[in-house]
Amino acid sequence: MFSALLVASLFGVVLSTVAGRTIMNNHYLEDKLTSANAYSRLSTALVAQVTEQPELGGNPQAASVVSSVITPAMLQKIINAAIDQLTLYYQGKGPAPSIDLTGLTSQLQTVGVPIPMDSTLTKPVRLVPDSGTNQTIVYPGRSFANARTIAITATVVLVLALLAVSWARHVWTPLPDAVITVGVLTGLVAAACAAGSSLIARYVRFDDASNAFAAVGRDLATAIAHDLMWRFGAIAVVLLLGGIGTRIWAGRLGTSSKSPAPLTSRAGSAHR
């Protein structure tokens, strides 16, 4: 029973640790957006969206003016602020996040670029659904932190309990067996991430010309899945190597503790 519980808690520690350093980390997401050249690509797409209005008629001079306002640096500032707000919101430390492009709209109108009232640029885009006034808000970040703390605490307690049982029974293989099992499970997660990355790249077909926003989302998802594959894969290798090595040592230790008494001792006992 201790071994099964240890497998569950240790596997939970692995998952929560990787998630906490990646998809639950705002700096990680911002770095991935930078690696995907997302800000420049989104800037180009928004400039094209604005300049395609009938009022501008594809005027090259208007495109130059719009490009001077909707810059990659400006979008990076807005998007990163929204990601930071999202992280704080999920931790229960901030208001509901949104991407607010109304500042860009005001700047465009100031330089003479007309923006229709029904444009998506004229109102903030909420990143989470409206929960309503009578609904209880669930903060995943807070629940995630609590679950991670419980998993770490349970793992420490179960390791100590399993060591105590192993000491009493002189059987040292359950602990490395649990580590090997977690290594196998982690390897399966790595394989799933690899399959997900390949499937996204193969079947989700967008480019910047057709839909830059979807293309950036696809590239971001592919990059994250690929990175998670390597992270989980490395952890799986460490767990498997450590578990197998310890299992071999524990097996030899158990064998030596159960070895028969020397012949001289037996002869002496028989003589007496």
pLDDT at 134: 47
Evaluate if residue 223 carries a pLDDT over 70.
Answer: yes
Reading phi first (left if > 0) and then psi (alpha if -120 to 50, else beta), residue 268 is in alpha
Please give the pLDDT value at position 265: 46
Under 8 Å between Cβ of 90 and 140 = yes
**Confidence category of residue 270, pLDDT binned at 50, 70, 90:** very low
**Statement: residue 263 has pLDDT above 60:** no
Q: Give 131-179 pLDDT, tens digit per residue.
A: 554 455 566 667 778 888 999 999 999 999 888 888 888 888 888 999 9
Whether the pLDDT of residue 98 is over 90: the answer is no
Give me the sign of the Cα torsion angle 241, 246, 251, 255: positive
Task: Return all residues near 76 (Cβ < 8 A) that are at least 6 apart.
Answer: 33, 34, 39
Predicted local distance difference test score (pLDDT) of residue 254: 59
Determine phi and psi for 108, rounding to 5 degrees.
-65, -40
DSSP helix/strand/coil, 103? helix
Q: What is the pLDDT of residues 178-193, one digit of tens each?
A: 999 999 999 999 999 9
pLDDT at 271 over 50: no
Q: Are 173 and 219 in contact (CB under 8 A)?
A: no
Torsion of CA 219, 221, 225, 226, to 10 degrees: 10
Instruction: Kindly state the average pLDDT of the residues 9-14.
Output: 94
The average pLDDT across 253-269 equals: 52
Q: What is the pLDDT of residue 54?
A: 66
Percent of the chain with pLDDT over 90: 34
Spatial CB neighbours of 228, under 8 Å, sequence gap ≥ 6: 18, 22, 23, 190, 193
Output the pLDDT for position 208. 72
- β-strand partners of 99: 125
| Tens digits of residue pLDDT in 23-79 | 888 999 999 999 999 999 988 888 887 777 766 655 667 778 888 888 899 889 988
